[in-house]
A and B are shown apart, each in its own frame.
Chain A
């Protein structure tokens, strides 16, 4: 019963401050695991009234967004008992047997040159069953038709270019109304593209979370790694080998201005911003050994946080900024440890499996997502922090670099598919899975943005 949707690639011409790039949607989404058990909903195709229809289909984007969260299963238009455009046209009797919980209806009206008025409503089918338009007493003491089955109604006038981002806004609203959680459909991802056939093999890119609207921020002949977002979403830090040694740079996403953060002897890598945006945790080996350091970005003052001859790397912050997770092989094999920044006390966090690496907290701090190796297989796993119960979420091959959506609903990671590296999405409960291959070459090191 899973609906198979394939997103169409669009070509966009984008001009950036310093980098002019013909940006194709380099990634497309291929759904690999259905959502049979997710909540059935209907996003009715919005009715269009006008002469020039924009290329982006709002209801299709909303349906795709909701499906990818793993929580919803939008039914196909052909299965809809009717296609209303307003709640007034909505006939609950026709929908009773559909099993659908909620319906999104809307209309698009061309009101001027490249001006479109969009209206939409979110209807709760169960409440509507209870009696659409149950008469109620209003403040003036008059009987009026009830509307508590309409969870939300929205209206806006925009240009055709804004259709895609508005669709993501609608998805956020629908998601929030139906789950109580904030939607993350207006967020972005950063990643590294590698194409061995090009002179500038390595490119740092940012796109919408679904791979659309790709923009290239940097091109290099030498490797680029580990992009990471500032908490305000305006900057990226990354590792570059352009000087034939690793260095950490910070680059403004909008102006493309960049500056060196660290260029110490040895390794400069694994940068990650603190939740308050003022510090950067990183891995340096300038003192002879890979250790975790925390740097105050403004003053460049360095604080050494680990001190062990074993490999210590991959720092990541707890949501409250008080402790840092990191990978260490001090126990023999790589496992995840936590260091409290105030007391400098270190404790081991993972004990299962042959190895555990790249630990990251979920936004609510209740679980840790990581790369787990069991029976030689590298998969993304989620461990509950209190119970230590570990659930392996993926069955893909050679998984690495997990990054979590800011609402904790989804994980994006890098994996091997066939002979190429691709990005993949998995919902936090492991139910929804999709793959995002690059059009050309390999893609790796994804980083999900904060709420923007």
Chain B
């Protein structure tokens, strides 16, 4: 489900309905009804805002890092994954793609397989926390999309990652 479309739909609907509520004063019943509408829409606006705020917070912490040639989740990322799993369990209409990446060492094709391992590792972890499998998918880019093109240990470490993309 495309999250952006939902938000955009709300953004359009809210101003239009607010205007409609302000224009008519003749019929008390209508006014009452439209006032309720205004109240209803305001709640949805804050829901959309809250959703967006949550996603922003999650985007700040959406990357899990891995050891060389490994796909095990290090304990330091438990809280990050907890936050994502809480969000996904609460908002079952949202889906996430977990991207798997590696550093440049090894061969491109082996790294595609390793990247998928890392993505699957994250997915399994989230499943164990109760997230529905249907909300998650994995894409491996291997060594093809590094964030740091350098060849220092530091750069390699930055590239060994899984990224949760909403």
A interface residues (Cβ-Cβ under 8 A, vs B): 196, 223, 225-226, 241, 244-246, 266-267, 269-270, 283, 285, 290, 311, 313-314, 327, 334, 355, 357-358, 371, 373, 378, 397-398, 400-401, 416, 419, 444-445
Contact = CB atoms under 8 A, between A and B. Distances in A.
Interface stretch (B4-12, B14-22, B42-50, B113-121): B113-121
B107 A358 contact: yes
Given A223-B145, A267-B116, A269-B112, A246 B140 contact: yes
A377 to B, nearest CB: 10
A401 B104 CA distance: 12
Interface residues of B, number: 23
Contact of B105 (A314, A378, A401): A378
B107 A314 contact: yes
Contacts of B114: 311
B112 A267 contact: yes
Contact of A419 (B106, B112, B144, B149): B149
A225 B110 CA distance: 12
Of A226, A283, A311, most B-chain CB atoms within 10 Å: A311
The DSSP consensus for interface residues of chain A is strand
A246 B142 CA distance: 11
A313 B112 contact: yes
B141 interface: yes
Contacts of A285: 113, 116
A106 B64 CA distance: 65
Contacts of A290: 113, 116
A241 B144 contact: yes
A257 to B, nearest CB: 25
B164 to A, nearest CB: 15
Contacts of B113: 267, 283, 285, 290, 311, 313
B72 interface: no
B140 A267 contact: yes
A246 B106 contact: no
A223 B141 contact: yes
Q: Nearest 9 A-B pairs (CB), nearest first?
A: A223-B144, A311-B113, A290-B113, A270-B109, A400-B107, A357-B107, A358-B107, A313-B113, A314-B109
